[in-house]
């Protein structure tokens, strides 16, 4: 027995690691990790660009038909301005005439000043002072209409034809300055162009954060500096707005700018 015990002790001394459980120690080796690029926010849209939205008829026939309607007066002013509502052939927006009438009748518009009465003519053959014409963008871009010197879709007023050209693309999609408020933008477009028919020109933002005057080019943006730079493409237009950095808030109305 003594010999056996001595032999076992010698065996354990000669192989100490065999009698111990295996241990894992140390720090795990670093693994190569591919860095994930930081997410960059999408650049803001060009203020004057047409927003995305519903499909738009690119070009109509280049002729217009009068939408029959009630002959009535809107407002109580001494100055009477007759108008018809017309849609380009090939364009279909059934609510257009009613929307125009409602905007002109709103007391926050030009009639709220008490100086003008708008009279819609019921006779399609009548000669109005103003033709309010919904027009496809392709037709509106023609040089004899609004043109495309500033390369963004817009509406305009043509003195020689007594016509207000309301751009169909803008009527259906609005402007970035109105941030999806299509009803507000439509009111702005009618009031702005009717302001031209009343003899008014473009103006700039009067002070940072103020409601934009209805005669500001809100379709293109709300920043005086942006508008001044944009209008350099159109001779004489840049002088109407000073690039002073003022930025206004969207506002479609004449008498209620809050």
What residues contact residue 161 under an 8 Å CB cut-off, 6+ apart? 131
As beta bridge partners, residue 81 has 118
- For residue 108, what pLDDT is reported? 97
The answer to whether residue 132 scores a pLDDT higher than 80 is: yes
As beta bridge partners, residue 117 has 80
Spatial distance between the Cα atoms of 37 and 91, rounded to a whole number of angstroms: 47
- For residue 45, what pLDDT is reported? 86
Mark 57-80 as b/e (b = at least 16 C-beta within 10 Å).
Answer: bebbeeebebbebeeeebbebeee
The answer to whether residue 257 scores a pLDDT higher than 90 is: no
- For residue 25, what pLDDT is reported? 46
pLDDT tens per residue, range 107-123: 999 999 999 999 999 88
pLDDT bracket for residue 2 (50, 70, 90): very low
Between 90 and 234, residue with greater pLDDT: 90
- For residue 149, what pLDDT is reported? 92
As beta bridge partners, residue 158 has 163
- For residue 38, what pLDDT is reported? 62
Spatial distance between the Cα atoms of 57 and 41, rounded to a whole number of angstroms: 32
- For residue 34, what pLDDT is reported? 62
pLDDT tens per residue, range 41-83: 778 889 999 999 999 999 999 999 999 988 889 999 999 999 9
Mean per-residue pLDDT of the chain: 87
- For residue 233, what pLDDT is reported? 77
- For residue 180, what pLDDT is reported? 96
Q: Report, as an integer, the average pLDDT of 196-214.
A: 96
Domain ranges across the chain = 64-240
pLDDT tens per residue, range 208-247: 999 999 999 999 999 999 999 998 877 655 567 889 999 9
Least confident of 20-34, 143-157, 167-181, 182-196: 20-34
- For residue 26, what pLDDT is reported? 45
Q: What CATH number does the domain located at 64-240 have?
A: 3.40.390
Mark 164-201 as b/e (b = at least 16 C-beta within 10 Å).
Answer: bbbbbbbbbbbbbbbeeebebbbbbbbbbbbbbbbeee
């Amino acid at each position: 027995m003594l010999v056996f015990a001595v032999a076992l002790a010698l065996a354990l001394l000669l192989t100490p690691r065999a009698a111990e459980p295996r241990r894992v120690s140390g720090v795990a080796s670093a693994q190569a990790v591919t860095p994930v690029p930081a997410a960059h926010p999408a650049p803001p849209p060009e203020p004057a660009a047409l927003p995305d939205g519903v499909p738009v008829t690119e070009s109509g026939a280049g002729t217009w038909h009068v939408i029959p309607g009630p002959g009535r007066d809107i407002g109580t002013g001494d100055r009477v301005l007759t108008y018809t509502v017309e849609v380009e052939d090939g364009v279909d927006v059934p609510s257009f005439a009613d929307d125009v009438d409602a905007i002109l009748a709103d007391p926050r518009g030009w009639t709220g000043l008490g100086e003008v009465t708008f009279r819609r003519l019921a006779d399609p053959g009548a000669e109005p002072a103003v033709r309010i014409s919904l027009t496809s963008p392709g037709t509106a871009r023609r040089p004899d209409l609004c043109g495309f010197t500033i390369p963004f879709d817009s509406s305009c007023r043509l003195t020689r034809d007594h016509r207000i050209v309301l751009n169909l693309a803008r009527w259906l999609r609005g402007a970035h300055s109105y941030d999806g408020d299509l009803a507000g933008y439509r009111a702005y477009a009618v009031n702005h162009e009717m302001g031209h028919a009343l003899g008014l020109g473009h103006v700039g933002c009067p002070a940072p954060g103020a409601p934009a005057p209805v005669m500001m080019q809100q379709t293109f943006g709300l920043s005086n500096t942006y508008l001044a730079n944009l209008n350099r493409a159109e001779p004489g237009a840049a002088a109407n707005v000073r690039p002073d950095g003022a930025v206004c808030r969207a506002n479609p109305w004449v008498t209620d700018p809050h």
